[in-house]
Amino acid sequence: MNAPSNLKYTKSDEWFDPASGAAGITDYAQSQLSDIVFVEILVDEGEEVTVGKAIASVESVKASAEIYAPAAGKVSAVNKGLSEKPETLNSDPYGEGWMIKIENGAAGEVMDSAAYEKYCEGRTH
Amino acid sequence: MTYIPISPQERDAMLKTVGVKTLDDLFEAIPAKRRFPKLDLPPALTEMEAAAHLADMASSNENVRQDLISFLGAGAYNHYVPSVVDHMLRRGEFYTAYTPYQPEISQGTLQAIFEYQSLMTNLTGMEVSNASHYDGATATAEAVNLAYAQYRGKRKKIVMSPSVNPQYRAVIRTYSQGMGLTEVGDEAGNHEDGPEVLMSLIDEATMLVVVQYPDFFGRIYDYKKLIDTAHEKGALVCVVANPTALILLKTPGEMGADIVVGEAQPFGIPLWYGGPYLGFFTTKKSYVHKMAGRLVGETVDVRGNRSYVLTLTAREQHIKRERATSNICTNQGLLALGCSVYMSVLGRQGLQEVANLCYQKAHYAAAELSKIDGFGLCHPEPFFHEFVLCTPKPAGEVNQYLLDHGVLGGYDLSTDYPDMQNHLLVAVTEMNSRDEIDTLVALLKEM
Amino acid sequence: MATIIEPTIFELSSPGRRGVTMPASDVPTVDLPAKDFLRSELPLPELAEVDVVRHYMKLSSFNYSVDGGFYPLGSCTMKYNPKINEDTCRLPGFLFTHPLQPIETVQGNLALMYEMQDWLKEISGFAGVTLQPAAGAHGEFTGVLMMAAYHKSRGDTKRTRMLIPDAAHGTNPASVGMLGMSVVTIPSDSRGNVDLKALEAACDDTVVGMMLTNPNTLGMFDENIEKVIKLVQGCGGLMYGDGANLNALLGIVRPGDLGFDVMHFNLHKTFSVPHGGGGPGSGPVGVSQRLADFLPSPLVGIIEEGDDETAPLYGFVNPKNSIGRMKAFHGHFGGGLVRSYTYILMHGPDGLKDIAQYAVLNANYLQARLRGTYRIPYDRICMHEFVMEGHFEGSDVRALDISKRLMDYDFHPPTNYFPLIVPEALMIEPTETENKDTLDRFADALIKIAEEAKSQPDLLHNAPSTTQFGRMDEVKAARELVLCCWLPENYEA
């Protein structure tokens, strides 16, 4: 699994980029869900989100998940193209698979990549 | 009578393997003082006795094939069901199978549902059909669930036509108790209005507009303008349609409807005192993820055979649990099959014959009834196989008089619309001969 | 290009072919409505009757069914469906009665429904029963609506949390979700019972109630059931019983006697309504006295009492604080109620108890035969079903592989991956209508498969190999979403 070191991670498997404000789901999350066939972003541009608010709903062939805001702030952008190509979440979760951008987002309880990798390893065994 | 295929000797051997002495020993987890209650039920009958008993009960009814001439519709219709339909439904391979969870050994059910979905989308002019709902009323309630989920609770208003089947409206009220919805449009007293009255009620808070086609009073409207208005405000439109009428009429899909639902009982399902019936649900592809109910999609197996599976299951209750659009976990599988066999064996031309007979006979009946002094059609709009007859006396009295002469006259509309005392809803299908219609006319002339 | 084993009904169509024809019209012809009102085309198939019969016969041959073999699908109660039910439900007096006929003309139907309400009350120990719900999930929704209405009627508005065990069917939380309530998950303890400590901690004055399947989806009768009910009701909550597993309790214990407030029946499981490839079901609901006024309307009641000479007049009555109507008309009368009525009538009180006893015996017998080969996480006397784990130390074989391999032995697989709290779950419910030989053959097959898992795991990974179809590409189905076939190529408008 892959967890870039410039990002922060939540226990519920979202990532947050403090530099750009972008957020999405981690590589670990997409591999657990397997083939993702549906994404719905639940917030609109301009909306204020709090940490833990449901920002997206994802369905794969076998599972479904709610995605929660890793940071609080104003939603400055929503990845509208994602719903057309939900498989992007499998192929590029940290790039094209970003879900929303949170302006001046104040992160909630997050880990760095090393801690997150350890956290994931603990769950697979 | 028992269906347990285990001899006493086998039972004892099995108990020994389990490690207990008697059958009763298997139930020690159950609180002792509640264990083995004596049930006050009639003693068991043999098959021969049960068959006779049920035949007695059934024959104490007056039915619409042997005992009564019927012009009763209002949501359930007396149509001819070709013999082959029930022969197929009686195949144990179909009726004793369960939900096709294991596609390798359920392709019969899966392909049949796929074909049902195809038949319904082609009939309604829509893009997607699910595997069916309990009945027309609950299918309409599921349209409300879809719209609610589509707007994620941000729009909470329904514009409801007063000429949607009153039982369907009642079911929607029951279903939506926890959603905090407001419903406008179906206030008592405005049932004479056409769809244009609804247009002014649609606003940016409206999630769904619900109309019926033909409406509960049998009237045919082109809803295109209404649908365009709703779409301008961002609202969805659900059309509750009669499948027999759709054989002939412009499809709701062509008018731009977002959801087309209805009761498919007229397509091969007996009246059966109200159920089980078949709720069909069709929509546009863009709403498929918010649609409740099972869905079958095409795929291939590892050997390269075209085959079918339940698909998009992650949106359903067993995976999405409390976040699912609906809790539904079955469809009306066997009846969807019956509907498909009905549509297939009549085929395009046979269905057109059915629709044409309904139309012609209903119009003959309407014309003859209107000639009677004091009677007349209540509405000027075109109709298909059902119309409202204005009667000189309360419809309830007319019905009682007709029943005394072995005729079910129709549906007394004052049951649901208190100010429609002298309004009788009359349905005519291919099952009504000219003689039957003439009998009705003659009886009312003499009344 | 994929190989087509059986074309669709659209592909079989040929323009101009005719099946059943209708009689000519016997009334003067009038014009159809103006063209604007008419559809321009009707893209539906055209076939002869024999084409239709051969097509559906072919499709039927692709199905596994209870009539064809052993179908131990846990939680679904796939018992044999007596053939006589198929005849009684098709008696013309039932088949051809319209749901809106005057009550005087359908006294046979109403008497049957009235008796059915009474019998279900007697079997379950409840004070009231509605026959209206169309299926188990529909019954659940009905029950939850009544629970909400009960609290509301008492001005008790802060109750918004429903307690649901971790082993519950997905329909339980989904029913609750439809009412906007929240779900509180209660864990199970090491014996498969509700964890009493967790339950106690969750019970407070915001609890609507608890939804409990008992026996639960592990096949275990909760050994503390009376304590569980006391805790929930002690904090003002109502106790919902999911009747999915009622087959184990007929004549054994009545949920109403245990203190449950509401429970749905699954007539298609317990009372032999055939499953029909996924429906129609039938889901009547029973309630205790305090919920009786909230039942859906209408119920069947006696309008005029009878005497020795004349039968009573049956009709419809509306409960005082009814939650309203759950569906059009009166429930699944013909396909559901008549079949179940026939079934109960032929069993009587002793026959019903036999059903439960032999259902439980068969499950325990299979559990005993498979213990040692498969890990059974909650190992005690089970009720009508049990759950075992479909995986082995040091092997990559999974429950899914075992299930698929069972098809090669001509068995329908058990329910797999449910309940969620058991890894690689295989949930086995044999029902009472299987003989010892079948159970032995099934156990032998599973024991053989366990050996194969070690010696020839690819046999399992690649299973099934003897069936007409192999494993399906579910990702392709979900990604490409081909949900219907379109016009046949040779279609002429």
Q: Is the predicted pLDDT of residue C415 greater than 50, yes or no?
A: yes
Touching A: which chains, 3+ CB pairs < 8 A?
B, C
Residue A1, chain C, CB below 8 Å: the answer is: no
pLDDT band at B153 (very low <50, low <70, confident <90, very high): confident
The DSSP letter of residue B369 is H
Residue C316, chain B, CB below 8 Å: the answer is: no
At C296, list the tokens. 């859906």
**CB proximity under 8 Å: B 279-318 to C:** 285, 288, 294-309, 311-312, 316-318
Find the mean pLDDT for residues A89-111. Answer: 94
Boundaries of every domain in chain B: 69-81+347-446, 83-341
Residue C493, chain A, CB below 8 Å: the answer is: no
Q: Is the predicted pLDDT of residue C39 greater than 60, yes or no?
A: yes
Q: Which residues of B touch A64 (CB under 8 A)?
A: 314-315, 319-320, 323
Indicate the residue type of B277: Y
Best mutation target, A37, A38, A83, A88, to test chain C (most C CBs within 10 A): A37
Cβ neighbour number for residue B407 with a 10 Å cutoff: 20
Q: Which residues of A touch B154 (CB under 8 A)?
A: none
Find the mean pLDDT for residues B5-32. Answer: 97
Interchain contact, C330 vs B64, CB within 8 Å: no
**CB proximity under 8 Å: C 78-107 to A:** none
Interchain contact, B272 vs C65, CB within 8 Å: no
Q: Which residues of B touch A57 (CB under 8 A)?
A: 323
CATH class of the domain at B69-81+347-446: alpha beta
pLDDT digits (tens, 9 = 90+) for B92-144: 999 999 999 999 999 999 999 999 999 999 999 999 999 999 999 999 999 99
Cβ neighbour number for residue B37 with a 10 Å cutoff: 17
- Residue C403 · residue C445 · CB < 8 Å: no
Interchain contact, C22 vs B354, CB within 8 Å: yes
Interchain contact, A59 vs B152, CB within 8 Å: no
**CB proximity under 8 Å: C 404-433 to B:** 404, 407, 412-413, 415, 418, 432-433
Residue C119, chain B, CB below 8 Å: the answer is: yes
- Please identify which residue in the block is written with the tokens 């156990």: C443
Type and span of the H or E element at C60: helix C49-61
Handedness of CA B239, B240, B241, B243 (dihedral sign): positive
Q: Which residues of C touch A35 (CB under 8 A)?
A: 475, 478-479
pLDDT band at B250 (very low <50, low <70, confident <90, very high): very high
pLDDT digits (tens, 9 = 90+) for B276-291: 999 999 999 999 999 9
Interchain contact, C474 vs A61, CB within 8 Å: yes
Q: Which residues of A touch B (CB under 8 A)?
A: 37-38, 40, 42, 57, 59-64, 66
Partner residue opposite B272 with nearest CB, options C67, C138, C334: C334
Q: Which of C223, C278, A53 is nearest to B330 (CA)?
A: C278
Interchain contact, B314 vs A40, CB within 8 Å: no
Q: Which of C75, C217, C232, C228 is nearest to C162 (CA)?
A: C232
- Please identify which residue in the block is written with the tokens 């039982």: B167
Q: What are phi and psi of C3, to 5 degrees?
A: -75, 135
Interchain contact, B289 vs A64, CB within 8 Å: no
In CATH, the architecture of C86-345 is: 3-Layer(aba) Sandwich (3.40)
pLDDT digits (tens, 9 = 90+) for B369-414: 999 999 999 999 999 999 999 999 999 999 999 999 999 999 999 9
- Residue C132 · residue C296 · CB < 8 Å: yes
The DSSP letter of residue B433 is -
Interchain contact, A59 vs B289, CB within 8 Å: yes
Q: Which residues of C touch A87 (CB under 8 A)?
A: 479
pLDDT given for residue B284 in this prediction: 95
Q: Is the predicted pLDDT of residue B317 greater than 80, yes or no?
A: no
- Please identify which residue in the block is written with the tokens 């055979």: B305
Q: How many residue pairs bridge chain B and chain C with CB atoms within 8 Å of each other?
A: 706
Residue C253 exposed, middle or buried by CB count within 10 Å (0-12, 13-18, 19+):
buried
Q: Which residues of A touch C177 (CB under 8 A)?
A: none
Domains and CATH numbers, chain A: 8-112 (2.40.50.100)
Residue B315, chain A, CB below 8 Å: the answer is: yes
Q: Using CA atoms, how far apart are residues B24 and B31, in angstroms rounded to an integer?
A: 13
Find the mean pLDDT for residues C80-89. Answer: 98
Interchain contact, B315 vs A60, CB within 8 Å: no
Best mutation target, A58, A61, A62, to test chain C (most C CBs within 10 A): A61
pLDDT given for residue C493 in this prediction: 43
The DSSP letter of residue C24 is P
Residue C177, chain B, CB below 8 Å: the answer is: yes
Interchain contact, C62 vs B131, CB within 8 Å: no
Touching C: which chains, 3+ CB pairs < 8 A?
A, B
Q: Which residues of B touch C347 (CB under 8 A)?
A: 1-2, 44
Interchain contact, B350 vs C20, CB within 8 Å: yes
pLDDT band at C304 (very low <50, low <70, confident <90, very high): very high
Interchain contact, C345 vs B45, CB within 8 Å: yes
User: Which of residues B193 and A94 earns the better pLDDT score?
Assistant: A94
Type and span of the H or E element at B318: helix B317-320
pLDDT given for residue C180 in this prediction: 85
Neighbouring residues of B224: CB distance < 8 A, sequence distance ≥ 6: B255, B256
pLDDT digits (tens, 9 = 90+) for C226-258: 999 999 999 999 999 999 999 999 999 999 999
pLDDT given for residue C490 in this prediction: 44
pLDDT given for residue B313 in this prediction: 87
pLDDT given for residue C110 in this prediction: 98
Helix (H, G, I), strand (E, B) or coil at B124: helix
Q: Is the predicted pLDDT of residue C287 greater than 70, yes or no?
A: yes
Q: Is the predicted pLDDT of residue C491 greater than 80, yes or no?
A: no
pLDDT given for residue C488 in this prediction: 44
Is the link from the previous residue into C15 a cis peptide, with omega within 30 of 0?
no
CA dihedral (C98, C99, C104, C109) in degrees, to 10, reads: 100
Q: Which of B297, B12, B263, B13 is nearest to B128 (CA)?
A: B297
At C34, list the tokens. 């103006």
Touching B: which chains, 3+ CB pairs < 8 A?
A, C
Cβ neighbour number for residue C234 with a 10 Å cutoff: 11
Helix (H, G, I), strand (E, B) or coil at B8: helix
Q: Which residues of B touch C225 (CB under 8 A)?
A: 31
Residue B406, chain C, CB below 8 Å: the answer is: no
pLDDT given for residue B322 in this prediction: 77
Closest residue on chain A to B152 (Cα): A42
Residue B393, chain A, CB below 8 Å: the answer is: no
Interchain contact, A40 vs B289, CB within 8 Å: yes
- Residue B10 · residue C365 · CB < 8 Å: no
In CATH terms, the fold of domain B83-341 is Aspartate Aminotransferase; domain 2 (3.40.640)
Partner residue opposite B319 with nearest CB, options A40, A42, A63: A63
Instruction: Please state, in angstroms and as integers, the Cα–Cα distance from residue B39 to each residue in C107, C123, C125, C288, C341, following that order.
Output: 26, 7, 9, 18, 16
Residue A118 exposed, middle or buried by CB count within 10 Å (0-12, 13-18, 19+):
exposed
> Across chain C, what does the average pLDDT equal?
95
pLDDT digits (tens, 9 = 90+) for C161-183: 999 999 888 889 988 988 889 99
> Across chain B, what does the average pLDDT equal?
95
Interchain contact, B41 vs C98, CB within 8 Å: no
Indicate the residue type of C125: G
Q: Using CA atoms, how far apart are residues B310 and B107, in angstroms rounded to an integer?
A: 11
Partner residue opposite C64 with nearest CB, options B106, B312, B331: B106
CA dihedral (B75, B81, B85, B86) in degrees, to 10, reads: 90
Best mutation target, C8, C12, C29, C56, to test chain B (most B CBs within 10 A): C56
Helix C107-124, helix B47-59: angle, nearest 10 = 130
CA dihedral (C246, C252, C255, C258) in degrees, to 10, reads: -150
Interchain contact, A62 vs B319, CB within 8 Å: yes
Say how many CA atoms lie within 13 Å of C1 toward its Cβ: 3
Residue A35, chain C, CB below 8 Å: the answer is: yes
pLDDT band at B190 (very low <50, low <70, confident <90, very high): low
Poorest-pLDDT segment among B331-340, C168-177, C179-188, C469-478: C168-177
Helix ranges (H only) for C294-435 are 339-370, 399-408
Helix (H, G, I), strand (E, B) or coil at C235: coil
Q: Which of C418, C428, C410, C441 is nearest to C374 (CA)?
A: C428
pLDDT band at A124 (very low <50, low <70, confident <90, very high): low
Residue B273, chain C, CB below 8 Å: the answer is: yes
pLDDT digits (tens, 9 = 90+) for B196-240: 999 999 999 999 999 999 999 999 999 999 999 999 999 999 999
